[in-house]
Amino acid sequence: MKHSLIISFFIVLISLLSACGSQPAQMVYQVPKSTASQQCFITQTDSQIWLEQEDEWNALPIAARQQLESAQVDFTQESILIISAGQKSSSGYRLELTNWLLEQDHWQVTRIAHQPPADSMQAQVITSPCLLVKIPKTIKSFTLNNEQGQMLGRWPY
């Protein structure tokens, strides 16, 4: 009786260890927070800029870096994507990232460009709305689509 109990215990133990060992470890990701600005000063047209290193960040115009410096990027742990709506003739324009698909090594997201309603009153001022989003370096690729599902950019590591 005691011998069969010990054998049963070892069979259960080996089963548990082999079951745990066969599952790959997966990172759990949350949708990253974005840093937005109404005055990006990067481009005059829609654009996406992928930065992996601090020297690439330092090559941006000073005014753009000042607008986005609150993001506090650690380039040893993350890359950044800056999405710009280009120059706009009034306030009320903004960008949004939605429909995040966070897979183990690939992220996919949709960019939505919001414009002010036609009948709304907006300040007549030149703006250049943009978003900065931090992407962990553990992500192998990142795809940005527009609202119609067309790919705007893909950045592999």
CB atoms within 10 A of CB 132: 25
Q: Which residues contact 36 (CB under 8 A, 6 or more apart)?
A: 94, 95, 129, 130, 131, 132
**Tens digits of residue pLDDT in 25-63:** 556 678 888 899 998 888 888 999 999 999 999 999 998
**Tens digits of residue pLDDT in 63-83:** 889 989 899 999 999 999 999
Tell me which of 85 and 157 has the higher pLDDT. 85
Identify whether 111 is part of a domain: yes
Number of domains in the chain: 1
Split at pLDDT 50, 70, 90, the class of 133 is very high
The reported pLDDT for the residue numbered 143 is 95
User: Does residue 5 carry a pLDDT above 80?
Assistant: no
Domain residues for 109? 31-156
Residue 38 DSSP code: S
Phi, psi of 60 (to 5 degrees): -70, 155
Identify whether 117 is part of a domain: yes
Identify whether 16 is part of a domain: no
Compute the C-alpha angle 60/66/70, nearest 5°.
115
**Dihedral, CA of residue 90, residue 34, residue 46 and residue 119, to nearest 10:** -30
**Tens digits of residue pLDDT in 89-108:** 888 899 999 999 988 789 99
The reported pLDDT for the residue numbered 148 is 94
Q: 52 in helix, strand or coil?
A: coil
Identify whether 48 is part of a domain: yes
